[in-house]
Amino acid sequence: MRVALAQVLKGLGPLGLNKDDIDNVELVLAEALNNIVEHAYAPDDAAGRITIKCMHQDNGLHLEIEDEGARMPDGLPPTGSGQDLCLAVEDLPEGGFGWFLIRSLATDVTYARVGAANRLRLRLAVGVSDQTP
Amino acid sequence: MELTSTKEALLQMISVEEARIDSAVALQFKDGMRETTQGGEQTVLLDLRKVDFIDSSGLGAIVAAMKNLAPARKLVLAGLTPAVDKVFRLTRMDSVFKVYPDINDALAELRI
């Protein structure tokens, strides 16, 4: 997965994004891929294909990630709301941050089941064209 | 997942010698921390200066390390790079952990 991430980031080179934006893309992609590996492709399954497409438009970077794993429960991506951290140390959560991070950094998150595939689309407001006044 | 450890009277500094704490190495990180801190009593200072990427798995593993040390010992963090700091801030985990931007401040404070 690290290799795939590195390749995508390398492909973004021509966009000349600043480091903060590149970090955001990397994090969002890493979280989405983690979810696919952990949930869509269950441990027993043979290795599955994941397709990542990036398209830069005026309103940012559009990502489309497809996998051929199990469908998302309820056909909806989790809302991943921020977790209450006013807890004793032993009760602190060790997981569940992934979707929260995706939702914090990306917009227009949509999920569709397309035939036997899952398609996740999201947009990051990076490399946005300046609006002419 | 390489961790180097130096023990002093009042603190144990553990430096992560990897650039990434992500899903690929989260489990090794947890195991490594558990092994390296076993039987000790001091506050643990986690030196993250070489880490330039963590994801939610990495964050979870650091939380797990903190839970493993509690309640007798504290885990504090130092040297967070921008991308790592961002993950802690977005999840508000920077309010749960004591975070020192500069490792020298951490050492100065913990050695008293």
Are B70 and B102 in contact by the 8 Å Cβ rule? The answer is: no
Check CB contact of B90 with chain A, cutoff 8 Å.
yes
- Does the beta-carbon distance from A97 to B66 stay under 8 Å? no
Q: Which residues contact B22 (CB under 8 A, 6 or more apart)?
A: A2, A30, B53, B54, B55, B57, B58
CA distance B50 to chain A (A): 16
Q: Minimal CA–CA distance to A126: which of A25, A29, A46, A42?
A: A25
Q: Cα separation of B55 and A28, whole Å?
A: 9
pLDDT at residue B35 greater than cutoff 70: yes
CB-CB neighbours of A12 under 10 Å: 18
Report H helices in B1-102: 26-37, 56-69, 82-90
Q: Nearest CA to CA, how far is A92 from chain B (Å)?
A: 7
CB A21 within 8 A of CB A127: yes
pLDDT tens digits, residue range A42-69?
766 667 899 999 999 999 999 999 999 9
Q: pLDDT band for A132, please (50, 70, 90 cuts).
A: very low
Residue of B nearest to A105 (CA): B90
**Angle between helix B56-69 and B82-90 (nearest 10):** 70
For chain B, positions 24-83, list CB contacts with chain A under 8 A.
24, 53, 55-57, 59-61, 63-64, 66-67, 70-71, 82-83
Q: Chain centroid to CA B63: how far?
A: 9
In a mutational test of the B interface, the residue from A3, A18, A23, A29 whose CB has the highest number of chain B CBs within 10 Å is A23
Residues B51 and B82 sit within 8 Å (Cβ to Cβ)? no
A34 contacts in chain B (CB < 8 Å): 23, 55-57
Interchain contact B22–A (C-beta under 8 A): yes
How is residue A55 annotated by DSSP?
E
Residue-level pLDDT at A44: 64
CA distance readout (Å), A98 to A32, A44, A69, A104, B62 = 8, 23, 18, 10, 15
Stated as kind and residue range, the H or E segment containing A128 is none
- For residue A6, is pLDDT > 60? yes
List, for residues B84-100, the tens digit of each pLDDT value. 999 999 999 999 999 99
Which amino acid, one-letter code, is at A123?
R
Name every residue whose Cβ is closer than 8 Å to that of residue B6 and which is 6 or more positions away in sequence.
B12, B13
Question: Is the separation of the CB atoms in A93 and A20 below 8 Å?
Answer: no
Q: Does B93 touch chain A (CB under 8 A)?
A: yes
Q: Do B63 and A92 touch (CB under 8 A)?
A: yes
Mark yes or no for CB contact A37/B59 under 8 Å.
no
Residues 6+ apart with CB under 8 A from B27: B61
CB contact under 8 A, B20 and A105: no
User: Residue B19: how many CA atoms within 13 Å on its side-chain side?
Assistant: 1
Give the chain B residue whose CA is nearest to the CA of A25.
Answer: B83
User: Mean pLDDT over residues A70-83, rounded?
Assistant: 76
Answer whether A8's CB lies under 8 Å from A52's CB.
Answer: yes
- Please tell me the predicted confidence (pLDDT) of residue B8: 94
CA-based nearest residue to B18, from B84, B85, B87: B84
